[in-house]
Structure 1
Amino acid sequence: MSYSEAVTSSWTRIVRWLENHAAASAQALNPPATDADIQQLNDALGFRIPQALETWLRMNNGSTAKDRRTPIPGGFQLLPDPASKLFPGGEVFLDCQSIIDRHRQFLRIADEIDDEDWWMPSWVPVLAEADSHHGLLLDTDQAARVLAYRESDYAKVYAASLEEVLEAVADALEHRRGGGVLTRGRHADVQDGRLVWG
């Protein structure tokens, strides 16, 4: 199975689960990214995004449909609706514009603090907690492995691939089990029609 097929399979399972069990979270999913969205993202980053991420964005352009954006110096801050937080760490699946905004903001901060290891140009944020420097990114210099980043530490290896992360989440949803390292030991539940991780 190719990377794109693995992403398609796992994300289809996740969306089906949301539609059947957590309608409010399913409604937080945006329509697919367009060719223009993907081109704008590639142009802003200065390189082509990994095929696995492009496949995912072409299925749903993030889980930000109910969110608001507020201007901040150097870009925008995403203010997520609780239903947008689809992932076990409370992260939102970023849309193309949010990826651009965060990538630009994080590179600016790395330059301001004169620490190129804090955020590298080849890093693409894909999942993020809105009110802190916390989430998951793809390291495009290292076969698109997944790194976890947070304010208190440098980014560290989290998973071998995006496919591995999505498969772990799909399994946790369908089998109602937690405890796996990629689901941060949490299990899925539903409150007010939205997915929550306990």
Structure 2
Amino acid sequence: MCRLASEESPWDDYRRSGWPAMERQPIMDLGIENTLTSAVEAWARFTQWLSEYAPVHADALNPPATEEQIKQAESRMGVSLPSELRQILMINNGTTARNRILSGNSCYDARGGGDYSPFPSYNVFNDVELTCSLYTGNRTASVSMQEPGSRYEYWKQGWIPAFTTKEGHSGLFLDFSVGADPAPVYAYGEDSFPDLAFSSLAEYLSAVSDALEGIRPFTVMGRGAPHLPSVRDGLLAW
């Protein structure tokens, strides 16, 4: 059932067009003890919606990462993962879905090594191994590129790439460089400086879930045009 806002807006028209919004379940129904909005709660909302309306993408979510996998990755990276990201990875270790824009009426196979991530801006949720690989590669490149005496770093220690586009040159990273936990989320691209996008992973996932549940459109810090979701053949697109 759709939630109707008290004021009319273009978003209301979009929701009434048949978008499959759903009521948010109480936290206790999701088995979460913390009554505050958390990354785990937001992730539960997101995956519950996928299971209901985009089952192909729900099936593409990986099983949980193990403590050993995370510890090995942290050892190779030389930094710890922010607690919010660690919590989500221990529920689903990323997804098999990978983004590629396809045309026509092709059927996307998110489960087969796949195409098409269920997140806005073509971002893919990275598993532990890919997060580690991207981080170490970016740090190595950053050190080699840094000029003597320069304080500029292409990729700082503690910038954890949690979501990336298929080519790996843009996405979202969690800034754990000063140990802030929850870590703020920054959007980055190959030809631009990182830009603060969300105050935490929980806020990002909540914004995605809010859009799916028909509460409000997805925007980055209220900037730019809203991302409107759609579903086709069991897959979510923005």
Is this a same-fold pair by TM over 0.5? yes
- Give 1 or 2 for the bigger CA radius of gyration: 2
Counterpart of 1:40 in 2: which secondary structure? helix
Alignment equivalent of 2:197, drawn from 158, 161, 164:
158
Inter-CA distance 193–54: structure 2 relative to 1 (3 Å threshold): same
- The equivalent of 2:84 in structure 1 is 52
What residue in structure 1 maps to residue 123 of structure 2? 91
Matches within 5 A, 1:43-82: 43-64=75-96, 81-82=114-115
Q: CA RMSD in A?
A: 2.4
Give the Cα–Cα distance (whole angstroms) in 2 for the partners of residues 128 and 34 of structure 1. Answer: 22
Amino acid at match of 2:209: A
Deviation of the 1:4 alpha carbon: 9.2
Partner in structure 2 of residue 77 of structure 1: none
Equivalences, count: 184
User: How many Å apart are 1:37 and its aligned residue?
Assistant: 1.1
Q: Report the secondary structure of 1:10's partner residue.
A: helix
Corresponding position: 1:34 with 2:73: no
Give the helix-richer structure, 1 or 2.
1
Change (3 A) 1:2 1:154: farther
Q: Secondary structure at the match of 1:12?
A: helix
C-alpha distance in 2, partners of 1:102/1:18?
27
Q: One-letter code of the match for 1:169? A: V
For 1:114-143, what per-residue CA distance to the aligned partner results, in whole angstroms no more than 9, with x for missing partners?
265211121100000011411000110242
Contact residue 3 and residue 51 of structure 1 kept, 8 A: no
- TM-score for the superposition, normalised by structure 2: 0.70
Pairing 1:140–2:176 present: yes
Structure 1 unaligned segments of length 5 or more: list them.
68-79
Aligned partners of 2:47 and 2:58 also within 8 Å = yes
In the alignment, structure 2 segments of 5+ residues that lack a partner are: 1-32, 99-112
Residue 14 of structure 1 corresponds to which residue in structure 2?
46
**3-state SS in 2 of match to 1:82:** coil
Contact 1:22 1:195 in 2 (8 A): yes
Does 32-41 or 170-179 show the bigger shift? 170-179
Corresponding residue for residue 117 of structure 1: 153
1:82–1:3: structure 2 CA closer, same or farther, 3 Å change rule? farther
The DSSP-based 3-state class of the residue aligned with 1:125 is strand
Shift of 1:106: 1.0
**Does residue 219 of structure 2 align to residue 186 of structure 1?**
no
User: Cα deviation per residue 1:65-93 (whole Å; 9 max; x = unaligned)?
Assistant: x56xxxxxxxxxxxx6224x121111100
- Say whether the 8 Å CA contact 2:207–2:218 is kept in structure 1: no
My pick for the range that moved more, 149-158 or 175-184, is 175-184
Q: C-alpha displacement at 1:15, in angstroms?
A: 0.3
The answer (yes or no) to whether the contact 1:14–1:169 under 8 Å persists in 2 is yes
Q: Does 1:107 align with 2:139?
A: yes
Conserved 8 A contact 2:40-2:202: no
